[in-house]
Amino acid sequence: MLRVVDLIKQYRTGDRALKGVSLDVPDGQVMALIGPSGAGKSTLIRCVNRLVEPTSGQILLNDLPINKLSQAQLRRARRSMGMIFQEYALVERLSVMENVLSGRLGYVGFWRSYTRKFPQSDIDAAFDLLDRVGLADMVDKRADELSGGQRQRVGICRALIQHPELLLVDEPTASLDPKTSRQIMRLICELCKERGLSAIINIHDVMLAQMFAERIVGLRLGEIVYDGPPEGLTAEALTDIYGEEDWTATIRNADEDDGGEEAVDDQDYAAPTPDRDRLAGMT
Amino acid sequence: MPVLQADGRKIWQRRERGKQLAIWGGWLIATAIFVYCWQLISEKTTWFFVLDAHVQAADLAERMVPPKFSYMEQLWQPLWDTINIATLGTLLALVLAVPVAFCAARNTTPSRAFVRPVALFIIVSSRSINSLIWALMLVAIVGPGVFAGVIAIGLRSIGFCAKLLYEAIEEIDETQVEAVTATGASGPQVLSYGIVPQIMPAFAGISVFRWDINIRESTVLGLVGAGGIGLQLNASILSLAWTEVSLILIVIICTVILSEWVSAKVRHAII
Amino acid sequence: MAEISLPSRRWKKPPFIKSARLRWALGIGAAVYLALAFGTMEVNWGRVAEGLPRGINFVAAFFPPDFVTRWDEIADGIYESLWMTVTSTVVGIALSIPIGLGAARNLAPRPVYLFCRGILAVSRSFQEIILAIFFVKLFGFGPFAGFVTLSVATIGFYGKLLAEDIEDMDPGQAEAVRATGASWFQWLNYAVQPQVMPRMIGLGLYRFDINFRESAVVGIVGGGGIGATLNTAFDRYEFESAAAILLIIIAIVMAVEYTSGYVRKWVQ
């Protein structure tokens, strides 16, 4: 299980993206992290695998203190944390297979990875995963030839072939259409169930979060303002997270909609623009 | 298809065998060419001198310090000449490059069959011939001095400026040109309202970029007598005044870095 | 209805530089500079008039150029230039890869970055000829000095562009590969290399082209190659041979440029 204790992140510009966040994610739980742009969602999940160095606080993955590891130990620890990105972040000029296999980089030596001679077990796993997400005949396509939904599926395979214990998912649907968004979310959640993974899904779309997550954490200005089941997300709770707005339509839609494929375009506020802390996380 | 079936398992390889072999073959040929060229060079090399080079280098370095700063007084004039050669040469090149570029761009050339090949040939010949060679010719023709340097830089830069400019012209958004044409504008009007605004940033960027390169180029023109600080450099080297040489080198580095900084700033402001 | 009585509204294209004072200052500054620059440029029109017939002779020498008389020397020079070009491009690029990696701000720690940037700045500041003069001094006359010169110049050019390309790469892709637990070299191979490779191959060919052109001048100061032959031809006023050499250089540069165009399309 993942335990985050009193995590603080202060950027060099002086912005405090996280102001003492504490959080436990038990094994097998799919948790959605919601909040307005700049709330620190991306920073939080990037602190977990230290793509962003936390300023202070503790991160324990199965009692392993992630924040105290040396570089070499950190690389080992990263193997057990799969990450799925907004805008897919596939290496565009590599083939689908190479992208998926890049998830094994933490396990194989440099020379093997350089010559692309991965162990056959890795190749088998890659084929299984690609079959599972329905991309079996795309193996040798270059990543930039794929559509958005297909790319995100490759991204999912890349994360899962690491055999992670935890999935860190950063805005998986931000650049996808509503239908594909649901498919991708469903795929992620199904795969988590199948493999007993826990996941932190950072997501803009409250409805999607309510539909797929077991637990929702609302972040505002670097602080947790809501932590509970999806049903508990009332108008008051949403106001706490996002500020004053008429939330009735959002809540009603979520109640009525049981995941139909012909989704209504209900993502008014889910603008897919990269927010400030995401940009900061990239540097 | 690099995916193979074997014993019921799928095997993946990065490339097909034939392609992989072709790539190895390519590397082999490239290595062979390199080794061959290297051998030819090494035959013509007196290895004794090469092995002795570090001693020479140390000796030279020792003789070059400290730079003779008092010599600076005599460097201001050549430095000013050097900058003038670069600036005036760039201006000359720009004036000449604009018509050449319009003749060379597919979408603006008056005649694809006749004018365009001529323009392209002008561009290639100007680019192929180093400014020092231009200077060599011009010193023979117009005599030594700054004037030859300016023309050499100008002629050398036409090709560079015209090439980048005509590529910019070919990349313009045709719909804007269409829109202006649709208002009933004449040819020159289309040019000034439809095309020129689109290539203006590119033009400014190219000029500054080339100016920066030309500063560097004009530091050596003096070696063949075409004016600028190269003249002093040559004289100091010939008279073995190494402390002067080191000062000149310092001056050149400073000038070049300064001009690079200016050009980067200006390009940044434009774009 | 007060507007009606006003004179019709006038419009003028707003000037490019907003501040009038700055505009005038720049304009006057430019005018003064040009006046001074032209003023200090001494043109000996008598000498120019004297030289013009020679210029005409030179142009006339292109019709026809003389490939035959000095063919052996020309061929020797061209071959030597080509060897120098090949070896210096290969060695220069090989050396500029580590330096370019070190000079990329998003890859290297600060001291390494500054050190590598320093190397690049120095090797870029000096025109090839200045480098050649010194390397001829150190290594003696001949193509080896030219080879070293062009290699150093290649490092400055290629290393800088490589570093800039790496700094401009998509950080998302780089981050994604890092998140898999890849080691630094694996990260380089999977995230950085695919992103910068196509452009770098194109630039390598471009540098080959530049090196060939430059190899024609390092010979002027004793660095081997076709430059020496060309210099001799000018010294002897053998414009027909000089024209032949220039045409050969142009032809080879064009050939390289066309080939590199194809290769670039192919690697995209």
Q: What is the ipTM of this complex?
A: 0.80
Q: What is C71-267's CATH number, 1.10.645.10, 1.10.3720.10, 3.30.230.70, 3.40.190.10?
A: 1.10.3720.10
Neighbours of chain A (3+ CB pairs under 8 A): B, C
Mean pLDDT of B203-211: 89
Neighbouring chains of C at 3+ CB pairs within 8 Å?
A, B
Is C254 in Cβ contact with B50 (below 8 Å)?
A: no
What pLDDT score was predicted for residue C1? 46
Q: Which residue has the higher pLDDT, A169 or C4?
A: A169
- Enumerate the residues of chain C whose CB falls inside 8 A of the CB of residue A155: 176
**Chain C stretch 139-198, residues whose beta carbon is closer than 8 A to a beta carbon of chain A:** 170-173, 175-183, 185-187, 189-191, 194-195, 197-198
Running DSSP on this structure, what letter comes out for residue B69? G
Nearest residue to A264 via CA among A179, A148, A173, A186 = A179
Question: Using an 8 Å Cβ cutoff, are C96 and C154 in contact?
Answer: yes
Q: pLDDT band at C11, cuts 50/70/90?
A: confident
CA distance C5 to chain B (A): 32
* Predicted confidence (pLDDT) at residue B95 exceeds the cutoff of 90: yes
Task: Walk along chain A (283 residues) and give the pLDDT tens digit of each residue.
Answer: 899 999 999 888 888 888 889 999 999 899 999 988 888 888 998 899 888 889 999 999 988 998 888 888 888 888 889 999 888 888 888 889 889 988 888 888 888 888 888 888 888 899 989 998 888 888 888 888 898 889 999 999 999 998 999 999 998 888 888 888 999 999 999 999 988 899 999 998 888 898 899 999 999 888 899 998 988 888 888 888 888 777 777 765 555 444 444 333 333 333 333 333 333 333 3
User: Could you tell me the pTM of the whole model?
Assistant: 0.79
User: pLDDT digit string (tens) for B222-244?
Assistant: 888 888 898 888 888 888 888 88
Nearest chain B alpha carbon to A137: B3
The answer to whether A262 faces chain B, any CB pair under 8 Å, is no
Q: How far apart are CA C145 and CA B225, in angstroms?
A: 23
Tell whether B132 lies on the interface with C, counting CB pairs under 8 A.
yes
Closest CA to B147 of B218, B235, B233, B72: B218
Q: Is B66 helix (H, G, I), strand (E, B) or coil?
A: coil
Of the segments A134-138, B84-88, C241-245, which one has the largest average pLDDT value?
Answer: B84-88
Q: What's the average model confidence in pLDDT over C191-215?
A: 87
Tell me, what's the pLDDT at B57? Answer: 84
Mean per-residue pLDDT, C7-28: 79
The domain made up of A2-80+164-282 has a fold known as Rossmann fold (3.40.50)
pLDDT at residue number B180:
84
Tell me the one-letter amino acid at A188. Answer: I
Extents of the domains making up chain A = 2-80+164-282
Written as six digits, the tokens of B137 are 């010719």
**Residue among C51, C129, C213 whose CB faces B223 most closely:** C129
CB atoms within 10 A of CB B59: 12
pLDDT at B97: 93
Q: Is the pLDDT of residue B4 over 80?
A: no
Query: Could you please report the per-residue DSSP string of A28-86?
Result: T-EEEEE--TTSSHHHHHHHHTTSS--SEEEEEETTEEGGG--HHHHHHHHHTEEEE-T
Nearest chain A Cα distance for residue B17, angstroms:
14
Q: What is the pLDDT of residue A72?
A: 86
Whether residue C186 contacts residue A110, with contact meaning beta carbons closer than 8 Å, is answered with yes
What's the confidence (pLDDT) of residue B128? 83
> What residue in B sits closest to A128 (Cα-Cα)?
B10
Domain boundaries, chain C: 71-267
pLDDT of residue A1: 86
- With 90 as the cut, is the pLDDT of residue C37 above it? no
Asked if residues A77 and A66 have their Cβ atoms less than 8 Å apart, the reply is yes
